[in-house]
Amino acid sequence: MSNKKPSGQQPDPASRRQQLRLEQERAAKEAKVRRIISFAALGVLGLAVIGGIVWAVMSMGALTANKPTAAGSVNATYTVVAGDPKAPVVVDIYQDYMCPYCGEFDRVNAADLEALATAGQAQIRLHPMNFLDGASQGTKYSTRAANALVTVAKAEPDKMLAFNTALYTDQPAENTTGLSDAQIAERAKAVGVSDATIATFTQLSNADFVNNTTKAAFADGIESTPTILINGTAFNSKAIYTAGALRQAVEAAAKG
């Protein structure tokens, strides 16, 4: 016996062609499977994208439909109102409860404002702003006080002007913490606001109203507080601190 390895036989040409044909068929099948998988993946991705778009659109619609609207406006221009809406004169008062000059204005004119509103001579429109929130050591006193005022104006409007004046009585200085929630409640109670209304102050349910009041004031070009308008015209900035001057101006405006 020979230890020489036998040489391999040369492949039959027909067999080789058959093998190539089988390999080509197998490759074609594999390519087809890959295409099917790819298309399926793209289909899933497409459905996911389409589904995502549909979900987003539907969600946006739902958010729009269910988006909480601002708590009932005292009126459409973010003001709180006292007096007859048909009064011949409208007095707009832009104020912030942390503003010392606003307090001075109210202490000089509160009685006249009350009388003008009661007599139907003027509609008093307060614009309670909160741009001085940063001057209350983080307590957001301007917002808390204004929120309480708007709450009273909505629930017990006949107490609104009295409560407004109460908030300016012994007014806290700028850059202090302002009145505490309990102190705001005490002042409301002192002018006859009900316990049920007072109990809602700390919910800050009208804080958005106050924010919008401030934005609206800035949009209208109000640059400082107090700003007083009589029938849309700015009242003399010095006269607002003179007793009787505002009332005289209102009476003159009523006469035309």
Please report, for residues 65, 114, 182, the alpha-carbon distance to residue 155 in angstroms, rounded to integers and kept in the order given: 27, 19, 19
Q: What would the pLDDT profile of 186-244 be if each residue is shown by its tens digit?
A: 999 999 999 999 999 999 999 999 999 999 999 999 999 999 999 999 998 889 999 99
Please, which pLDDT band fits residue 4 given cuts at 50, 70 and 90?
A: very low
pLDDT digits (tens, 9 = 90+) for 171-189: 999 999 999 999 999 999 9
Residue 19 — pLDDT band, cuts 50, 70, 90?
low
User: What share of the chain in percent tops pLDDT 70?
Assistant: 70
- Residue 114, Cβ neighbours under 10 Å: how many? 17
pTM of the model: 0.71
Given a cut of 80, is residue 6 above it in pLDDT? no
Looking at domain 80-255, which CATH architecture does it have? Answer: 3-Layer(aba) Sandwich (3.40)
Q: How confident is the model at residue 138 (pLDDT cuts 50, 70, 90)?
A: very high
pLDDT at 24: 52
Sign of CA dihedral 88, 218, 133, 241: negative
| DSSP track, 179-245 | --HHHHHHHHHHTT--HHHHTTGGGTTTHHHHHHHHHHHHHTT--SSSEEEETTEE--TTGGGSTTH
